[in-house]
Amino acid sequence: MSTEPSPQNVSFPSAGATAYGYLAVPPSGHGPGVIVIQEWWGLTSHIKDIADRFARAGFVALAPDLYGGQVAHDSDEALRMMSELPTDRGTELLSGAVGYLLERPETDGETVGAVGFCMGGGFVLSLAAKEQRVSAAVPFYGVIKDGMPDFSNLKAEILGNYGELDPSVPPESLEELRTTIESQSGIVPVFHVYPGAGHAFFNDDRPEAYHAESSTEAWERTLDFLRAQLTKAS
């Protein structure tokens, strides 16, 4: 029996169009579902590797392609591509991905988790605020680009991972986010701030940003959180 995940490129209907993504199925052939949401760079090899890592940990992981096949090669291009994707449109595409993942025969349970990085971390919160089929949300240094969503319909528990030295999401900004989520939904998010880590500390394709100790700790916390929440929700 293989000990490696089974990856494949997939397409599915979403937001009135055909969407694409990268699906990784665990060696067991089934498991709880997790949506993996890209950074502002696009659906890169790094994001696909994260989906594979989730699959090795027992999850059915789907990384939707929010840019329709485009990948940014520098920060100016990434900023342009992110700016051209309205939050409402991206959230609608992700909602379609949730439905597709739950319909897959490999996916266990009636809800999924969502994990996102940078731009994707902001989309994790927008998706969870809208989509009640998401029961666990994990933003990594999530950049909320169009203002905070309305959390009044939020059902997901939230675990956030942030870098102490991140100018994009300074730690002092988290108190406002925590207060907003709790006051609107009654859910108390748990935020972890990692000493010595900056923005994109989990991205091991970017040695100038990667912080190994924080990355390892955040990954272990994320896996424990998803297993606990998705098992409870199933």
Find out whether 43 and 87 touch, Cβ atoms under 8 Å. Answer: no
Clarify whether 205 is annotated catalytic. no
Distance of CA 96 to the CA centre of its chain: 15
Strand order in the sheet with 6-14: 6-14, 17-25, 60-64, 31-37, 107-117, 134-140, 157-163, 190-194
Burial annotation 41-61 (CB, 10 A radius, 16+ → b, else e): bbbbebbbebbbbbbebbbbb
Find out whether 199 and 189 touch, Cβ atoms under 8 Å. Answer: no
The active-site residue, picked from 46, 166, 204, 211, is: 166
H or E element, residue 52: helix 45-56
Clarify whether 46 is annotated catalytic. no
The active-site residue, picked from 49, 73, 150, 199, is: 199
Name the one residue in this structure whose structure tokens are 């394709």.
205
The active-site residue, picked from 118, 146, 192, 204, is: 118
In 3-state terms, what secondary structure has residue 141?
coil
Clarify whether 30 is annotated catalytic. no
Active site residues: 118, 166, 199
